[in-house]
């Protein structure tokens, strides 16, 4: 998908009919729009979104007022007033024209909801345009609505992607890339199908009411589990947000003169404590495994000797191994003839003597078990002693780790006290905020632990109730058929979940690899990005035991999120080219970005300017002229194929405004005050 041009008619700040072309050249794939704050950049981004999807970004104010205010004011009451946006784009060798129009009948000053029409037309090179009947679904196949938020974005939004709260959106994007939403919906509906089937079971015979009772308990447990899962997701999101706050405050403390040295020492101790915490957690897990797998050996101090004595007694008596095999004796009796040739008729003394050997003859499986038991007893005592030694060693290490944690916590408390007592009021406030946020994290982690424990308990209860329902005797053929269908649905749900987990993890790993490569090319700090198993974008510094979360600045967050968007676009192209079942209609996306250089310093602006043209085959940058001057303009300029100035007009008078800007050596009006109208005007920059 490549955007060709956009035409706006009375859309918010853009009065009348205004048009802009986008560069589609391979070597000059960047289009730039320079506009002042509040001058119409975000409106242009939203015009693209609205035309294609009928939606607007969350940060757009006064979403109900889409019709240009000047056109609205001059229109008489009772008249129909319209606004429209037309976007032309290329895809798969065809040209599309998406047109969305909103018509509102004026009743007073406020704009009310109106009639919205959306049309999509296509031209395949023959010069003839034809209307696409399934317009919205066609757009959604080319660039799914669920992915649009990753490619039509503003600076604040792009930084949000690098925060904990964005994990669900990233996870959803991965599902969309894979085209597995139908599987997700099927997985979501299967439990309700199982529930409906369960309630078709009816008690009969002596089990009157038993099935209904178990079903009611299962319903209650399932409802509670869903509530606990919602609570778990909410707590994880809150904890992630609070941890981001902690990182932000600690980063700030590292820059303040009165706190930098103390914070540096605290970072060192905190890193040590994290290492000890990890070691303690690993040792506790190892000890639990040891007790579960070999703990029983501690209670067998004399059993080995007792078994050895018993085995030796059986051997001395000749009972084990048996002198004859039972099958051999049985064969003699069946043939009624001894190996010496003596006839063994029924009731004869000779047959009776042979029958006595059956009591001494051994079964093969008994002798095999005896041999295994005798062989294993030799090492049992050694295993018991080894388990005790390992357990004592783990207990000692755990005790030492707990002692180290207490000492390190005491050091951290000292740093906390020092920072709270620093004369600088800002530092003291930051430290107080950090302490309160840390307390909240601990509190929510405790609640999260309780919620997770309850979810595990409910899972066990539901498993027990399902087994109980399955063991109820159901002679009725209808009940038997329902049970069979329930089992099939449950097996299908498990199979779908395994498939979803496998596909999702495979794509996450692929994205993680792409993000690392892209970030390494763009960043200048030795940080390693990661898309974690929880679908959170993280930055790490160091490796192995020395690895820790890197303090992410606005610049790092921006680059990390941009690396994700670039990796996502690359993954979409890969899937489209290699998987005919996933997203065959999709191949490439434009990136439309507002406020790309917002709060970045000069170095990061230069990095982002160098990186943006490489993100996708087409990039549209909406920026403030002051933010793009200097290094950014220099690095971005060689890739710019189309430029526009958004001139802001205001009826208000102002003395301190930038009335003109220079682009490519020519002057263009930037802000016109006072003007005869309020609004924005697009002016193409001469090449």
User: Strand pairing of 2-11 and 666-669?
Assistant: unpaired
37-54: per-residue pLDDT in tens?
888 888 999 999 999 999
- The winner for highest mean pLDDT among 81-90, 422-431, 468-477 is 81-90
Q: Are 52 and 104 in a shared domain?
A: yes
Q: Which of 107, 122, 92, 102 is nearest to 47 (CA)?
A: 102
Q: Are 493 and 568 in a shared domain?
A: yes
Residues with Cβ within 8 Å of residue 174, at least 6 apart in sequence: 504, 507, 508, 511, 535
pLDDT of residue 645: 93
Query: Span 335-360, mean pLDDT?
Result: 75
Q: Are 64 and 192 in a shared domain?
A: no
Task: For residue 292, tell me if it sits in a domain.
Answer: no
681 pLDDT above the threshold of 50: yes
Task: For residue 376, tell me if it sits in a domain.
Answer: no
pTM of the entire structure? 0.64
Task: For residue 448, tell me if it sits in a domain.
Answer: no
pLDDT of residue 597: 74
Query: Span 254-276, mean pLDDT?
Result: 84
Query: Span 78-102, mean pLDDT?
Result: 93
- The winner for highest mean pLDDT among 198-202, 385-389, 473-477 is 385-389
Task: For residue 450, tell me if it sits in a domain.
Answer: no
Question: What does the DSSP assignment read for 231-269?
Answer: HHHHHHHHHHHHHHHHHHHHHHHHHSTTTHHHHHHHHHH
pLDDT of residue 372: 62
Distance CA 263, CA 373 (A): 62
Secondary structure class of 6 (helix, strand, coil): strand
Query: Span 381-404, mean pLDDT?
Result: 87
Task: For residue 506, tell me if it sits in a domain.
Answer: yes
CB 61 within 8 A of CB 668: no
CB 21 within 8 A of CB 4: yes
Task: For residue 569, tell me if it sits in a domain.
Answer: yes
41, 447, 574 from 172: Cα distances, Å? 28, 26, 18
pLDDT of residue 365: 53
pLDDT band at residue 6 under the 50/70/90 scheme: very high
Q: Are 576 and 664 in a shared domain?
A: no
Q: Are 11 and 103 in a shared domain?
A: yes
616 pLDDT above the threshold of 90: no
Q: Are 501 and 583 in a shared domain?
A: yes
pLDDT of residue 97: 95
686 pLDDT above the threshold of 80: yes
366 pLDDT above the threshold of 70: no
Q: Domain boundary residue among 554, 570, 588? A: 588
Distance CA 614, CA 27 (A): 11
pLDDT of residue 95: 93
Higher local confidence (pLDDT), 330 or 277: 277
Task: For residue 391, tell me if it sits in a domain.
Answer: no
How many domains, in total, are found in the chain? 2
pLDDT of residue 374: 55
Q: Domain boundary residue among 588, 618, 652? A: 588
What CATH number should be reported for the domain holding residue 11?
A: 3.40.50.300
Q: Are 99 and 166 in a shared domain?
A: no
Q: Are 547 and 502 in a shared domain?
A: yes
457 pLDDT above the threshold of 90: yes
648-669: per-residue pLDDT in tens?
999 888 767 778 888 888 899 9
Question: What does the DSSP assignment read for 122-167?
Answer: EE-SSS-EEE-SSHHHHHHHHS-HHHHHHHEEEHHHHHHTTSGGGH
Distance CA 461, CA 469 (A): 12
pLDDT of residue 314: 58
Query: Span 455-474, mean pLDDT?
Result: 83
Q: Degrees (nearest 5) of the Cα angle 345, 349, 355?
A: 80
158-184: per-residue pLDDT in tens?
766 666 666 667 777 776 766 666 777
Higher local confidence (pLDDT), 318 or 344: 344
450 pLDDT above the threshold of 90: yes
Q: Are 83 and 12 in a shared domain?
A: yes
Task: For residue 9, tell me if it sits in a domain.
Answer: yes
Residue 189 belongs to domain spanning: 145-201+488-588
Distance CA 652, CA 665 (A): 29
518-548: per-residue pLDDT in tens?
788 777 678 888 888 877 778 887 776 667 7
Query: Span 631-644, mean pLDDT?
Result: 83
604 pLDDT above the threshold of 80: no
188, 195, 196, 495 from 200: Cα distances, Å? 20, 9, 7, 24
563 pLDDT above the threshold of 90: no
Q: Are 567 and 648 in a shared domain?
A: no
pLDDT of residue 566: 81
Q: Are 504 and 569 in a shared domain?
A: yes
Q: Domain boundary residue among 588, 613, 628? A: 588
CB 469 within 8 A of CB 214: yes
Q: What are phi and psi for residue 235, nearest 5 degrees?
A: -65, -40
pLDDT of residue 584: 42
Decide: residue 465, CB within 10 A, 0-12 exposed, 13-18 middle, 19+ buried.
buried
Q: Are 173 and 185 in a shared domain?
A: yes
Residues with Cβ within 8 Å of residue 143, at least 6 apart in sequence: 1, 52, 151, 586, 589
């Amino acid at each position: 998908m490549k955007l060709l041009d956009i035409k706006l008619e009375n859309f918010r700040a853009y009065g009348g009919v205004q048009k802009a072309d986008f560069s589609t050249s391979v070597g000059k794939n960047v289009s730039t729009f320079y506009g002042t704050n509040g001058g119409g950049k975000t409106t242009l981004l939203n015009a693209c979104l609205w035309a294609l999807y009928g939606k607007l970004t969350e940060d757009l104010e006064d979403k109900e007022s889409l019709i240009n205010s000047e056109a609205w004011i001059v229109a008489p009451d009772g008249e129909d007033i319209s606004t429209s946006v037309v976007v032309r784009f290329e895809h798969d060798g065809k040209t599309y024209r998406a047109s969305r129009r909103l018509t509102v009948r004026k009743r007073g000053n406020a704009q009310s909801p109106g009639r919205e029409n959306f049309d999509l037309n296509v031209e395949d090179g023959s010069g003839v345009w034809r209307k696409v009947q399934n317009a919205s679904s066609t757009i959604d196949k080319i660039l799914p609505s669920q992915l649009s938020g990753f490619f039509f974005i503003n600076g604040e939004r792009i930084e949000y992607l690098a925060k904990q709260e964005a994990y669900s959106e990233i996870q959803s994007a991965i599902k969309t890339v894979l085209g597995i939403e139908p599987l997700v919906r099927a997985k979501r509906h299967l439990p309700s199908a199982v529930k409906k089937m369960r309630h078709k079971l009816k008690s009969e015979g002596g089990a009157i009411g038993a099935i209904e009772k178990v079903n009611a308990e299962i319903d209650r447990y399932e409802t509670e589990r869903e509530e606990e899962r919602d609570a778990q997701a909410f707590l994880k999101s809150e904890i992630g947000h609070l941890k981001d706050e902690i990182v932000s405050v600690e980063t700030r403390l590292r820059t303040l003169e009165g706190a930098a040295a103390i914070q540096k020492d605290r970072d060192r101790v905190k890193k040590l404590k994290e290492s000890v915490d990890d070691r303690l957690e690993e040792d506790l897990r190892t000890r639990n495994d040891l007790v579960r797998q070999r703990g029983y050996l501690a209670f067998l101090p004399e059993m080995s000797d007792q078994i050895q004595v018993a085995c030796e007694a059986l051997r001395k008596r000749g009972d084990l191994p048996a002198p004859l095999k039972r099958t051999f004796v049985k064969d003699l009796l069946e043939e009624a003839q001894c190996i010496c040739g003596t006839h063994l008729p029924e009731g004869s003394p000779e047959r009776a003597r042979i029958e006595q050997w059956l009591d001494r003859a051994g079964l093969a499986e008994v002798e095999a078990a005896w041999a295994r038991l005798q062989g294993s007893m030799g090492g049992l005592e050694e295993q018991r002693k080894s388990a005790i030694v390992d357990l004592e060693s783990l207990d000692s290490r755990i005790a030492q780790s707990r002692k180290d944690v207490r000492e390190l916590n005491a050091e951290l408390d000292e740093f906390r006290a020092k920072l709270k007592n620093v004369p600088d009021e800002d530092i003291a406030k930051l430290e107080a905020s950090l302490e309160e946020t840390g307390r909240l994290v601990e509190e929510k982690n405790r609640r999260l632990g309780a919620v997770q424990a309850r979810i595990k308990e409910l899972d066990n209860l539901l498993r027990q109730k399902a087994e109980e329902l399955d063991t109820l005797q159901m002679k009725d053929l209808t009940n038997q058929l329902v049970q069979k269908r329930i089992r099939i649905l449950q097996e299908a749900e498990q199979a779908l979940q395994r498939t979803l987990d496998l596909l999702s993890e495979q794509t996450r790993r692929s994205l993680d690899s792409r993000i690392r490569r892209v970030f390494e090319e763009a960043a200048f700090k030795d940080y390693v990005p990661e898309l974690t198993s929880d679908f959170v974008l993280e930055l790490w510094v160091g490796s192995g035991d020395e690895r820790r979360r890197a303090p992410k600045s606005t610049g790092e967050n921006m680059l990390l999120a941009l690396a994700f968007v670039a990796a996502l676009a690359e993954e979409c192209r890969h899937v489209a080219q290699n998987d005919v079942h996933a997203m065959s209609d999709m191949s490439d996306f434009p990136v439309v970005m507002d406020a790309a250089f917002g709060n970045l310093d000069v170095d990061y602006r230069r990095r982002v300017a160098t990186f943006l043209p490489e993100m996708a085959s087409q990039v549209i940058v909406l920026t403030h002229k002051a933010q793009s001057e200097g290094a950014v303009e220099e690095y971005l300029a060689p890739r710019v194929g189309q430029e526009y100035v958004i001139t802001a007009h205001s009826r208000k008078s102002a003395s301190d405004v930038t009335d003109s800007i220079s682009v490519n050596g020519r002057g263009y009006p930037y802000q016109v005050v006072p003007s005869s109208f309020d609004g924005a005007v697009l002016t193409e920059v001469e090449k």
